[in-house]
Amino acid sequence: GIQVEQSPPDLILQEGANSTLRCNFSDSVNNLQWFHQNPWGQLINLFYIPSGTKQNGRLSATTVATERYSLLYISSSQTTDSGVYFCAVEGRTNAGKSTFGDGTTLTVKP
């Protein structure tokens, strides 16, 4: 099946800093999603982005499907951005089901 690698595994920032999280995948994709898991375990869908760029407030994401990667940008980080960020990818050969990376754990310090 498709392989999904996220980097870095851990990231520590001061409040107000910017960050870039990366997701690499091994095959062509039908779709790609970014999720935030908060410290209470809840999973929130941030972006559905099989290609192109999307923005939502301080967060934006870009997927370059031909080069098999996606980036999640967080600007002016806040302590509430802390948690784990997951990339989930649906490969062309596994239609309808997504494979998750191991996540990037972000800690934003006040």
Partner 1 sequence: DADVTQTPRNRITKTGKRIMLECSQTKGHDRMYWYRQDPGLGLRLIYYSFDVKDINKGEISDGYSVSRQAQAKFSLSLESAIPNQTALYFCATSPRGYGYTFGSGTRLTVV
* Sole binder of partner 1 in the list 45, 51, 53, 107 (CB under 8 A): 45
Question: What string of DSSP letters covers 14-45?
Answer: ETT--EEEEEEESS-EEEEEEEEE-TT--EEE
- 66-95 mask for partner 1 (x: CB under 8 A)? --------------------x-x-------
Q: How far is the CB of 25 from partner 1 (least distance, A)?
A: 13
CB 97 within 8 A of CB 90: yes
Question: Looking at 14-22, 38-46, 56-64, 75-83, which segment touches partner 1 (CB under 8 A)?
Answer: 38-46
CA distance 60 to 34: 10
Only one of the segments 20-28, 54-62, 64-72, 99-107 lies at the binding site for partner 1 (rule: CB under 8 A); that segment is: 99-107
Give me the least distance between CB of 16 and partner 1, in Å please: 28
Beta-carbon count within 10 A of 16 CB: 11
